[in-house]
Amino acid sequence: MRKVNVFILMFAIVAIGFTCCNMSVNKNRHVRDGETINAGPKTVNGNISIGNHSKVTGSSSTVNGSIEVGSDSEVEDLQTVNGSVEIGKKTVVDGSVEVVNGDITCSEDVKVKEEITSVNGAITCNTGCSVDKDITNVNGSIILKGTTVKRDVSTNTGNITISQKSIVNGNIVVKKSHSLNMKRRTLIITISDNSIVKGNIIVKEDSLEVTVFLYKGSKIEGKVDGAQVIEK
């Protein structure tokens, strides 16, 4: 995610929220188990919790707070600036999951119909998850367990682990950093447990030494550019 997009996200959450009747300040927001609401909860300085078997139309967003969604629910965009996002089993996100500072965790069988993005935070997807667009971050690990990603997986500085028969249909990209103070360091990409990367592995940052550990039974169908591959 480019820096400009961070500011756009922050501005959009605040601007949209203050013009919306469903906005709270300094309050937590709750959607009860089984409840259906037609306007997603929004708050500044508060957490959002959405229960099990709930349905939320419209984006759910907070500026300083975390978002927790229960199991078997249906939601749209989930957005926070400072806070984590946790999504329960078999929940469908009919939109994107976007975080500036915080981790994103998807439990088993979560479906995200757009992208998952975090600037500063880890992204973890568990068995049976599917993501219809990209998974991307700047700083933080990306861990995929039994997950299908229809497009690319990309990072600037985080290690990437692809395991338990995960499938990445696009590329794995180590993006170029715009920092002037990048010290030479290592980045590890691990592909194991019969996982498949159908695209290429592309390293755009010269200051990183990227090593790909490719375990028996797993494969990279495309080319590897800028990284060393060690077969295990």
Domain ranges of the chain: 1-114, 141-232
- Round to the nearest angstrom and report the end-to-end CA distance of the chain: 32
Answer yes or no: pTM beyond 0.85: yes
If one counts every other C-beta atom within 10 angstroms of the C-beta of residue 222, the result is 15
Nearest CA-CA partner of 212 in 128, 200, 150: 200
Task: Give 79's contacts (C-beta < 8 A, 6+ positions apart).
Answer: 9, 13, 59, 60, 61, 62, 96, 97, 98, 99
Dihedral, CA of residue 71, residue 58, residue 85 and residue 68, to nearest 10: -40
- pLDDT for 89 equals 98
52: its two tokens: 């099990």
Tell me the C-alpha distance between 7 and 93, whole Å. Answer: 23
Query: pLDDT 10s per residue in the chain (232 long)?
Result: 444 355 445 545 454 444 455 667 879 999 999 999 999 999 999 999 999 999 999 999 999 999 999 999 999 999 999 999 999 999 999 999 999 999 999 999 999 999 999 999 999 999 999 999 999 999 999 999 999 999 999 999 999 999 999 999 999 999 998 765 666 689 999 999 999 999 999 999 999 999 999 999 999 999 999 999 999 9
Strands 142-145 and 160-163: parallel
Nearest CA-CA partner of 82 in 56, 61, 96, 54: 61
165: its two tokens: 């028969």
- pLDDT for 150 equals 98
- pLDDT for 101 equals 96
- pLDDT for 63 equals 92
Query: Is 117 within 8 Å of 136 (Cβ atoms)?
Result: yes
